[in-house]
A and B are shown apart, each in its own frame.
Chain A
Amino acid sequence: MSQFILHKENTRGHANHGWLNAHHSFSFANYYNPERMHFGVLRVLNDDLIDGGMGFGTHPHDNMEIITIPLAGAIAHKDSMGNSAVIKSGEIQVMSAGTGVSHSEFNALADEQLNLLQIWLFPNKKNVTPRYDQQTLNVEAMHNNFQQVLSPSADDAGVWIHQDAWFSLGKFDDGFETEYKIKKAGNGVYAFVINGEVTINGQTLSKRDGLGIWDTDSFSFKANTADAQVLLMDIPMELS
Chain B
Amino acid sequence: MQTTILYIGRDTEITIVMNRLLNARTEWKGFCVCTDEEAISILKTQDVDLVLLGNGITPECENALRNDINALKPGIKVAQHYGGGSGLLYGEIMSALN
Contact with A along B63-93 (1 / 0, CB 8 A): 0000000000000000000111111101100
Task: Tell me the bound Cα distance from A63 to B94 in angstroms.
Answer: 20
Q: Please name all residues of chain B whose beta carbon is closer than 8 Å to the beta carbon of A97 when the two chains form the complex.
A: 83-84
Task: Tell me the bound Cα distance from A18 to B10 in angstroms.
Answer: 35
Q: Closest chain A residue to B14 by CB distance? A: A60
Q: Which B5-58 residues sit within 8 Å CB-CB of chain A?
A: 9-11, 13-14, 17, 54-58
Q: Closest chain B residue to A66 by CB distance? A: B83
Task: Tell me the bound Cα distance from A61 to B11 in angstroms.
Answer: 10
Contact across chains for B17 and A44 when beta carbons are under 8 A apart: no
Secondary structure dominating the interface of B: loop
Task: Tell me the bound Cα distance from A202 to B85 in angstroms.
Answer: 39
Report if A64 contacts B (CB, 8 A). yes
Task: Tell me the bound Cα distance from A34 to B97 in angstroms.
Answer: 12
Report if A127 contacts B (CB, 8 A). yes
**Total contacting residues, chain A, CB less than 8 A:** 22
Q: Which A8-35 residues sit within 8 Å CB-CB of chain B?
A: 27-30, 32, 34
Q: Closest chain A residue to B16 by CB distance? A: A60
With A60-B17, A99-B10, A100-B13 already in contact, the answer to whether A28 and B91 are too (CB < 8 A) is: yes
Q: Please name all residues of chain B whose beta carbon is closer than 8 Å to the beta carbon of A60 when the two chains form the complex.
A: 11, 13-14, 17, 84-85
Q: Could you list some 22 contacts between A and B, CB below 8 A?
A: A27-B88, A28-B88, A29-B90, A32-B91, A34-B94, A34-B95, A37-B91, A43-B88, A59-B17, A59-B86, A60-B14, A62-B9, A62-B82, A62-B83, A63-B82, A63-B84, A64-B83, A100-B10, A100-B14, A100-B56, A120-B83, A120-B87
Please give the residue numbers on chain A whose beta carbons come within 8 Å of chain B beta carbons, in ascending order: 27-30, 32, 34, 37, 43-44, 59-64, 97, 99-100, 102, 120, 122, 127
